[in-house]
Structure 1
């Protein structure tokens, strides 16, 4: 599959790369990291990275604003996106050929070429392995692409703490850090938070009451977010808040927005993506997302998750 992708990239003059809505470092890292590799290897190709920008990730990259006619005869690559609904910029299907590169379970196949590897820690790790495959064809990894791929791996592995971290992950990181980018500045951008976010995390921890099953529930209504001056997008910075607390097996965040309640689920053992799939979502066994449309529906999700935690023998 990697050789097919490399062949397609070599054949097209225009390449447009997408990723998912509500991006995280792996979305930007894989999308823009791949673009930088292609640009370095094939300087005469037109390579674009598209989608709505997230200002909190501007330290990684800025994206392109392109006209519809750029898609004519173009190769389109979608990174880190399990299903078509979540692709940012829905023009992804206007190109001549479509490639999917992703590390989430492939429950919704799409594209002319699909490379899906749920055993990979991140899509950025996969892009690094694509680069290794392409080295014999002259593929080049520079400082910018190394920084982006490293950021994506670090973000999706929780700084190498999550079970998804494998020997593959460390092999990739070992080479990426040989490139001369400022890791301290990168970590500062990824993990330093303003004082209002820190105070909000304190509020959440002080009110934490885990259920008997080992499930922790965080409900974030708009009123609470407004009180602390925290946006819905900023809540992703503390999604791992309960990971170090003894006795908690899984936890869930409900973040109220104007027309939907976003759900983030995390686990240290119980398989949670099947619960997410019941509520307009999906993802990895230990990290998933979903959405509900009322607090009553949120309570139904809590009960389903509570049952999974009760059944878990950790």
Structure 2
């Protein structure tokens, strides 16, 4: 099925259903939130009579964008579930999507897990938020409506997943959509501040990470942030997401990984300036993009195996 046909089919389903629940991945980033809630805003503005909810765990750092809804289990039985920005089923937040009458997947990650009655995967898109705006562009001919808040959400998702338009995933279409979104009424300066400002404690941890910098002969750097370090700096594991790019501007680094120890696992945030890393992430209970991925290991020995795999790719 051609992409425009898939989009038309998704629009048909949105029009058909009176009950819609929109999901995204666990530990959401701005694109997950932006695409999920931005889509909800578009549907609500277009069809005020429909019952549209967003679900998932709250993310404190993104509460300025929106809060999640509380939805009764029975609601799902006659509902359409739309899952945004989630490559594989294991990362979908709120497993009740399985109870829905039909499931739609909208995602821009390389497909590692085909799911859903309808699937729209476009790896050429910078973000799922970009895809949602494209969905609206097609839907305009069916009287779909847009709002200032939807523009803010989708813009947040696009700048989040493009690193403020610095990443190679940024395309001509990305800039064209961004140019249209900024014509809506929202405070871009405030949005940037809310997305990127950090507490003093996180800035201090940034200094710690830089003080521990080591680069091996193949341009790989790795940093361990243990539970003790998190406690010393009085920050949560989730807050460390603001530091994932801290090593990206350092000359000589090809790829890097920041390990963050949680209660029962160690989160690995992996980034690259060139070598593809998503297959390595897949080997260690994760996935993502060729230059930006995440993984999970369960011991420091396994963490070292990930570093070795990353080094082999950079060789």
The answer on 1:235 being equivalent to 2:240 is yes
The answer on 1:84 being equivalent to 2:95 is no
Q: Which runs of 5+ in 2 are unaligned?
A: 1-5
d(CA) in 1 for partners of 2:283 and 2:112? 13
The corresponding residue for 2:3 is: none
2:268–2:294 contact (8 Å) kept in structure 1: yes
The answer on 1:287 being equivalent to 2:284 is no
TM-score by length of 2: 0.97
The corresponding residue for 1:94 is: 99
CA shift, 1:234, in A, is 0.4
Q: Which residue of 202, 210, 213 maps to 2:207?
A: 202
d(CA) in 1 for partners of 2:239 and 2:100? 33
Q: Deviations over 1:65-110 (max 9, x none)?
A: 1110111211100000011111001101111110000001111000
RMSD: 0.7
CA shift, 1:308, in A, is 0.8
The answer on 1:47 being equivalent to 2:52 is yes
d(CA) in 1 for partners of 2:168 and 2:251? 17
Task: State the number of aligned residues.
Answer: 310
The corresponding residue for 2:266 is: 261
d(CA) in 2 for partners of 1:62 and 1:224? 30
d(CA) in 2 for partners of 1:306 and 1:223? 27
Q: Which residue of 167, 175, 192 maps to 1:187?
A: 192
The corresponding residue for 2:23 is: 18
d(CA) in 2 for partners of 1:94 and 1:274? 31
CA shift, 1:151, in A, is 0.2
Runs of 4+ in 1 over 6 A off after TM superposition: none
d(CA) in 1 for partners of 2:16 and 2:159? 32
Q: Deviations over 1:152-188 (max 9, x none)?
A: 0000000000111111110110100000101111111
d(CA) in 2 for partners of 1:75 and 1:82? 19
TM-score by length of 1: 0.98
Q: Which residue of 275, 278, 295 maps to 2:280?
A: 275
